[in-house]
Structure 1
Amino acid sequence: MVDVDPESFEVMVSEALDGIPVELGELMSNVAVTVDHDGGRPGLLGLYQGVPLTRRSRLYAGALPDRITIYRRAICAMCSSEAQVVEQVRRTVVHEVGHHFGIGDKRLRELGW
């Protein structure tokens, strides 16, 4: 386990989001990304909650923002170096953003995410 302080971890998440291609970032709509520093189910690194872009209709207007949560403790628990934490944060952020775009777990695994 690596103990990355909360502030440094949040910077890692921000940098992972900044690494998403601009074209995709501009398509992201009504989604908030947060970090949970202590919670989460064992083995759950991130969680997307909301209505994927591919399933939104005119009835979606006025909905609360979708939420992507990245779990610091779970990611740190599976890594043995800070470099591994950075890479796992990147992979987790991309994976959850993929869900926002309507890509399922099976397809994300096929794509290596």
Structure 2
Amino acid sequence: MRPTTPPSVEDILEMAEDALAAIPEELRRMVQGAAIIVEDVAEEDVVEAMGLDSPWELTGLYRGVPLTAKSSLDAPSEPDTIHLYREPILLEWIETGEDLFRLVRNVLIHEIGHHFGLSDEDIARLEGD
């Protein structure tokens, strides 16, 4: 039975944290320090920078320096963040009928893939395997 009210930002964050806790510890350690941020939709400047027509097209975004590009000699920069966008996730949930936790987990894992330096094409290939 589906809830009668849309899941809140806090609900989506809790699902993301549960999904993160379920990934293998070795991978979880490599993501340690990356903040998970849940917002309703991406900001307009993010949508424009990504060349998208609408914030509804973006369910998640990794911001930071991928592990493959980091060096111990680098000066500290802003922390890595994984943004999950609640309203586009909920729209996909409604349109596909997919389990919401599974959908949140998939978006989170996709963005973690970017943290590891994988492209969208690499991630799609892995998801297809």
When the two structures are superposed, what TM-score results if normalisation uses the length of structure 2?
Answer: 0.76
One of 95, 102, 112 as aligned partner of 1:97: 112
Q: Greater CA radius of gyration, 1 or 2? A: 2
Cα distance in 2 for residues equivalent to 1:67 and 1:106: 21
- Name the CA shift for 1:21/1:27 in 2 (closer, same or farther; >3 Å): same
Contact 2:56/2:87 (CA < 8 Å) preserved in 1?
Answer: no
- Give the equivalent residue in structure 1 for 2:123: 108
Alignment of 1:31 with 2:34, yes or no, is yes
User: Can you give the 5+ residue segments of structure 1 that lack an aligned partner in the other structure?
Assistant: none
Cα distance in 1 for residues equivalent to 2:20 and 2:75: 25
Alignment of 1:19 with 2:22, yes or no, is yes
Cα distance in 1 for residues equivalent to 2:37 and 2:70: 22
User: Can you give the 5+ residue segments of structure 2 that lack an aligned partner in the other structure?
Assistant: 43-54
Contact 1:35/1:72 (CA < 8 Å) preserved in 2?
Answer: yes
When the two structures are superposed, what TM-score results if normalisation uses the length of structure 1?
Answer: 0.86
Distance apart, 1:29 and its partner CA: 4.7
Cα distance in 2 for residues equivalent to 1:14 and 1:71: 15
Larger RCO: Structure 1 or Structure 2 (Cα < 8 Å, ≥ 6 residues apart)? 1
Whichever residue aligns with residue 108 of structure 1, its letter is: I
CA RMSD after TM alignment: 2.1
Contact 1:98/1:108 (CA < 8 Å) preserved in 2?
Answer: yes
Q: Secondary structure at the match of 1:35?
A: strand
Residues 28-73 of structure 1 show CA distances to partners (whole Å, capped at 9, x for unaligned) of 254211111x222121010001110000123423211011100111
Aligned residue pairs total 111
